[in-house]
Amino acid sequence: MSKSFNVAVAGATGAVGNQVITCLEDRDFPVKNLKLLATRRSAGRKLRFKGEELPVEELTESSFKGVDIGIFSAGGAISEKYAPVAAKDGCIVVDNSAAWRMNPDVPLVVPEVNPDAVAKYSDKGIIANPNCSTIQMVVALAPIHKEAGIKRIVVSTYQAVSGTGKKAIDELYNQTKAILNSLEPEKKVYPHRIAFNCLPHIDAFLESGYTKEEMKMVDETKKILEDDSIGITATTIRVPVFFSHSESINVETDRPITPDEVRTLLENAPGVKVVDDPSKNLYPMAIDAAGRDETFVGRIRADESVPNGINLWVVSDNIRKGAATNAVQIAEILAQDYLSN
C-alpha cells in the first residue's frame, strides 16, 4: 500500500477510540495525517501515536475537510449528526455506533465475512461496524453457514463491562474493592451491583421482553449473512469481567455436519483460532482473548437433542475485534481497493 491517507478518529479519548489509535499503529495503517477529535471538554489533551504526542481537537462540522477516512467511536447521537457532514466533505465514515447499522443504504461489514459489501459505501459515504457481540458470532458462524446452511441460532452472551465504557470498568473495580473490604458498594452505571453478579439486561427492554442488544444480534446477523430465513433468538447477559465477551451458541444446520468438520472449517477460517481440547482443559477464555484480535472458538460438539445441531463456545475481545480492529480492517479494505487510485 504505497499511498497514505488523512484519517480522523472521532471519540478519540474513549475506550474504543484509544484502541482505534493503537490498532492503526499496530497494523501499520498508511496514515499521512491523524486528526484526533472529541468533545470540547477533552480538547487540548495529548494522545500518543507512533511516538508523537498529538493534540485532541474539538469535534465540529468543519473537522472533516481534507480527511479521507473518519472512524467514529463517539456514540449514536454524534454519528447521526456528524457522519453525513463528514461524508458531504468527501470523508468515508466507518461508524462504530448503532446509528446506521440497519439503514438499507449503509453496508454492515465484518471483513472476514462480507468484505465485498464495502463497495456499497458510495450510497451514503458511511460504513457501519456491527455490534461487538454480533461480530464475533458471525466470524465463527459464516464458514458453517456457507458449508451447511444455518437454519436456527440460539445464542446466550456473557458480556464484559467494557462494552458499557470506562465508567462501567471503574464501577466493577470499585465495587469489587468495596466488597472485599466489607464496605457497601456504590452502583451508578447499572441498575444492580455488577461485582460478583450477572445481569440479564443489556440496553433497554422492548415491549416484546427482549432487549435492544438482543435484537441487534438478530437483525444484524441476518443483514451481514444476507439471509432473513435464519431463525435467531438471543439472551444477553452482563458479567463481572473487564474485557472480552463470551458466547454460548447453538446452531441447527440445514445439512448434516460433524463437530470434526466444523473444527476443520474453523481452523482454516480467517480471523478464527480454534482452542478445543477439553482433555487438557483447553477452551477459549476471556482472559486469554483480551488484547487479541482473533475470535476464539472451542467446546465444539454435537447437540444430540436435535438433528443437525452443533454447540460452540466463542470468545473475543469486544474492544478490539468487537470494535476498533474491525473498523481499522474496514479502513484497510477502503485504502487497498477503493482509495488507492
Confidence check: pLDDT of 141 > 90: yes
Tell me the three state secondary structure of residue 135: helix
Q: Using an 8 Å Cβ cutoff, are 88 and 68 in contact?
A: no
The mean per-residue pLDDT over the stretch 63-77 comes to 96
pLDDT in tens, 5-36: 999 999 999 999 999 999 999 999 999 999 99
The mean per-residue pLDDT over the stretch 196-216 comes to 98
Q: Which residue has the cell 456457507?
A: 146
Confidence of residue 79 (pLDDT cuts 50, 70, 90): very high
Rounded to a whole number of angstroms, the CA Rg of the chain reads: 20
Cell of 80: 447521526
Long-range contacts of 191-200 (CB under 8 A, 24+ apart): 194/161, 194/168, 194/238, 194/240, 195/240, 196/240, 197/240, 198/158, 198/237, 198/238, 198/239, 198/240, 199/237, 199/238, 199/239, 200/235, 200/236, 200/237
Q: Exactly one of 23, 91, 132, 145 is catalytic; name it.
A: 132
Q: Which residue has the cell 471483513?
A: 111
Please give the pLDDT value at position 341: 67
- Domain regions of the chain by residue span: 5-129+323-338, 133-318
The answer to whether residue 245 is catalytic is: yes
CATH number of 133-318: 3.30.360.10
The answer to whether residue 132 is catalytic is: yes
The mean per-residue pLDDT over the stretch 49-73 comes to 96
Please give the pLDDT value at position 338: 87
pLDDT in tens, 154-170: 999 999 999 999 999 99
The mean per-residue pLDDT over the stretch 42-56 comes to 95
Q: Exactly one of 23, 91, 145, 245 is catalytic; name it.
A: 245
Please give the pLDDT value at position 340: 76
pLDDT in tens, 88-139: 999 999 999 999 999 999 999 999 999 999 999 988 999 999 999 999 999 9
pLDDT in tens, 305-314: 999 999 999 9
Q: Max CA-CA distance within the chain? A: 63
On average, the pLDDT of the chain sits at 97
d(CA 126, CA 46): 28
The mean per-residue pLDDT over the stretch 255-267 comes to 98
Please give the pLDDT value at position 104: 96
Least confidently predicted of 38-42, 238-242, 274-278, 329-333: 38-42
The topology under which CATH files domain 5-129+323-338 is Rossmann fold (3.40.50)
The mean per-residue pLDDT over the stretch 45-68 comes to 96
